[in-house]
Amino acid sequence: MELQIHVRRARAFLFHSLSLGSASLDADALELRVQCTIKGELRSSGSGKRGNAKSKNADGYIWRQDSGVIKWYLTTKELKALKSKAPTLKLYVFGIGDEVHSLGWFFMDLRTPDTALRWIKLVNSKYSGEIHVSSQLRKAPSFPSIPPPPPQQHDLPVVPPTTTGEDDCLDIGDHPDAIYVLSIVVEGATHMGPMVEALLKRCSPLELHAILAKGFWLSYSIFDVVVQTDVFHTLDVAGFDVIRDSFRLKSSLPALAALFTDMAVLPIFLCTVDRILCRTEIPR
């Protein structure tokens, strides 16, 4: 099956309101992207561009043609499991200019995957904002053959993490006995050019100019949180500050062992304007 989310427009951002405790942003200099992770697979829309000053969308952003389409391929079994265990999709919205700005997120429900276009307000946004979005589930024209995952080496059920009100922890497992802190540190990256050299050669001059102007960034997603580095402009030695993200987990050692065995790897994505260039995997 093919799950398709189509982002069309965005509006009602208060980028110049300093009363919200946030810095003013130049709306004309920003491009918007929407990201979501399903089954550990991060997908990103293309860029939403500022509306023409003479159009009815002058105060918002538009994803033209199919640039706002985000797709995943799922088997019927995978879809059934997601509807049962993790039916709520969390989609993050980012504004990309000289820096990457988190603009909040919105939710969609896999239990009702076919939805008409509607406006959804962003959650946890300093700048307000609404997204015009639809979704549909259809039979995939050609489903890629994917080898089955290796058999698990444990008999413990894998329980997806859920947020608890206590100390901002994630609950993992049925019988937590302590609070653990998982820290992920991204210190740097080098020699990335050979991985994307062939892809960049296939870009048009306009695409290549946009990529070099906007730069690159690394991104990963864990526990429904998307983390991104600062933008850098050379693939030989990435120039970004070290980022450390820590997650408080209320759990037990057996439950954590089951979770990380099931997770297997942490995908890291090399991104640029409108696209994900490549990925690598950090073993658990």
pLDDT of residue 5: 94
CA distances from 143 to 63, 69, 89, 138, 241 (A): 26, 18, 22, 12, 40
- In sequence order, the 6+-apart residues with CB closer than 8 A to the CB of 259 are 158, 159, 161, 172, 173, 251
- Consecutive H or E run containing 275: strand 275-283
pLDDT of residue 159: 45
Q: CATH assignment of 2-138, given 3.90.180.10, 2.60.40.150, 3.30.230.10, 3.40.50.720? A: 2.60.40.150
DSSP for 232-245 reads BS-SSB-----EEE
Q: Give the residue extent of every domain in the chain.
A: 2-138, 170-283
Q: What is the mean pLDDT of each run of 10 residues along the chain (284 residues)?
A: 93 71 76 87 85 66 90 88 88 84 90 92 90 90 46 45 56 86 86 83 80 86 80 85 84 88 84 79 77
The answer as to CATH 2.60.40 being correct for domain 170-283 is yes
pLDDT of residue 154: 42
- In sequence order, the 6+-apart residues with CB closer than 8 A to the CB of 204 are none
pLDDT of residue 129: 93
pLDDT of residue 93: 92
